[in-house]
Amino acid sequence: MAEFGESRAALPTVGIDIRRSLSATITEGDLIVIGAETYRIIGEPLGDALGLVSACEAVKL
């Protein structure tokens, strides 16, 4: 959901799991390129219980 003043818009999102060994710091706004597709991270990534994987929500650009 994206908010613009009093309005809201639903955005199609993608869940992406990233190993922390491949990218130690992922934050909101970062871009991820998978093949020919580019995604922007929305929200803060959540780590798993062992701290090995970050679960991210992203939108396709």
Domain ranges of the chain: 14-60
Contacts 24+ apart (CB under 8 A), 5-14: 11/42, 11/59, 12/59, 12/60, 13/42, 13/57, 13/58, 13/59, 14/39, 14/57, 14/58, 14/59, 14/60
Render each residue's pLDDT in the chain as its tens digit; 61 residues: 555 567 666 678 888 898 988 877 888 899 999 899 999 998 888 888 888 898 988 988 8
pLDDT in the model for residue 36:
94
pLDDT in the model for residue 31:
92
